[in-house]
A and B are shown apart, each in its own frame.
Chain A
Amino acid sequence: MTRLYRLTTGGKENLVTDEFLTTETTYSEDRVAPFREQTQYTADLDSLGRVLDWVMGDGAERFDDRSDLDAAVAPAVREFVNVPRRAAADEGIWHYLSIVWRPDYVRYRWTLERGNSSLTSLREKFTKSTRDLYAPAFARLWFMADFTKSDGGYRTTEKILKRQYSANRLFDRTDLRQRPVIRAIARVAYDLDDDEFIDDDDVFETVAKAVSHELTTISAESVGVDGMEKLVRQKYDRVTG
Chain B
Amino acid sequence: MAQVILKEISKKFGLIQVLSNVNLEINSGEFVSLLGPSGCGKTTLLRMIAGLETIDSGELLIDGKRYNDIPAQNRKIAMVFQSYALFPHMTVSKNIRFGLKINKTPEDEIKKKVEWAIELFGLKGLENRLPKEISGGQRQRVALARALVLNPKVLLLDEPLSNLDAALREMAMEELKRIHRQVGKTIIYVTHNQVEALSMSERIAVINQGKIEQYDTPRTIYDFPKTVFTASFVGSPVMNFFDGIISSCQDEIGIQTDFVFIKLDAERMEKLKSFKNKKVKVGIRPQNISYAEHHESKRASDTMIQVSIELLETQGDRSLVVSKTSSNIILRFMVSRDINIKSGEMVDVFLDGRRIHLFDPSTNINIFY
Question: Do the two shown chains form a genuine complex with each other?
Answer: no
A contacts, CB < 8 Å to B: none
